[in-house]
Amino acid sequence: MIFVPFQATIQVHTPVHMTGRVFGVINSVMTTATIIGPLFGGWIATVIGVIPTFTITASLLVFVSLIGWMTKRKVERGNTDVSASKQGTHEATTG
């Protein structure tokens, strides 16, 4: 429910000439998080205990979700002010 819409959104909003770079960075970050996340989570659970780890993780998840929701609203509100150009218009204006 997260990866497919995220990837689709990135494909829609990324300029064609930047697609390789953007997806390279995204895949690198996701791979790093996949490796570091369980290691760090296991270490935290060992140090402070399982229940506090779940509580902290849940709190951070809610916090990150709220930030994402507020950012999404701000971005979507900003996109409504941008006018869409007609296809082929850039060819007519270049000399």
Q: By the 8 A CB rule, do 10 and 26 touch?
A: yes
CB contact set of 13 (below 8 Å; sequence gap of 6+): none
What was the pLDDT predicted at 73?
A: 82
pTM, two decimal places: 0.59
Average pLDDT over residues 73-85: 66
What was the pLDDT predicted at 74?
A: 81
Element (H, E) at 55: helix 50-79
Indicate the SS3 state at residue 90.
Answer: helix
What residue has token string 């760090």? Answer: 40
What was the pLDDT predicted at 26?
A: 93
Task: For 13-72, write each residue's pLDDT tens digit.
Answer: 899 999 899 999 999 999 999 999 999 999 999 999 999 999 999 999 999 999 988 888
Domain boundaries, the chain: 3-78
